[in-house]
Amino acid sequence: MIIAIDGPAAAGKGTLARRIAADLGLAYLDTGLLYRATGKRVLEAGADPEDAAAAEQQAWALEPRDLERPDLRTDTVAQAASKVSAVPGVRAALLDFQRNFAAHPPAGAKGAVLDGRDIGTVVCPDADVKLFVTASDEVRAERRFKELQESGADVIYARVLEEMRERDARDRSRAVAPLEPAEDAILLDTSALNADAAFAKALDIIQKK
């Protein structure tokens, strides 16, 4: 079984995907970490994330251990990830990794849950279940703001909201694999749902499928 979960930042798709994978005994891949790790490598190399050649070079050099770094959740890395993800060569370099994970889940799992922005449309268009998880801009920004505060970051809500909208616009307007629901994806709006309620709804959708 392959479950594709897409949606914008801070909609709750990561938490949801991890819970679904654990509940159903499936392998889990946060595909956003691939782009975050690539963006981090580009920054550490002293290059511009919008430099296509530099971004593609780092994507091809990506190693599994890069995904385990503890510093991939910062806003700086998130912005870099959004920029490198717009580079066709980067997406090509990471596409095989994602598809191989879905087709051959590690540790003998009976399937996989992948979350990202183009899983249902590009990476796994034949996924058994496709969810597009979303929430209002304000709710997502508030979630991200609290997350950053709890990590000790000095942040301003208005700036978090502005950066989130900029990132959304970039993700939706990119020429390659823009952020959009697959035609057969089921929309799950978590604006008024806590993690438990979102999980219950998602599980009901999967069981019906």
Kindly write down the DSSP assignment for every residue of 59-110, as one continuous string. HHT--GGGGG-TT--SHHHHHHHHHHTT-HHHHHHHHHHHHHHHHS-GGG-S
Ordered domains of the chain (ranges, CATH): 2-204 (3.40.50.300)
| 78 to 127, 173, 199, 209: CA distances (angstroms) | 26, 17, 25, 33
pLDDT reading at 174 higher than 90: no
| pLDDT tens, residue by residue, 42-92 | 999 999 999 999 999 999 999 888 988 999 988 899 899 989 988 999 989
Q: What pLDDT is stored for residue 188 in this prediction?
A: 97
| pLDDT tens, residue by residue, 91-127 | 899 998 899 899 999 888 999 999 999 999 999 999 9
Q: What pLDDT is stored for residue 64 in this prediction?
A: 81
Q: How many whole angstroms separate alpha carbon 167 and alpha carbon 8?
A: 9
| 25 to 14, 18, 44: CA distances (angstroms) | 16, 10, 36
Q: What pLDDT is stored for residue 108 in this prediction?
A: 85
Q: What pLDDT is stored for residue 37 in this prediction?
A: 96
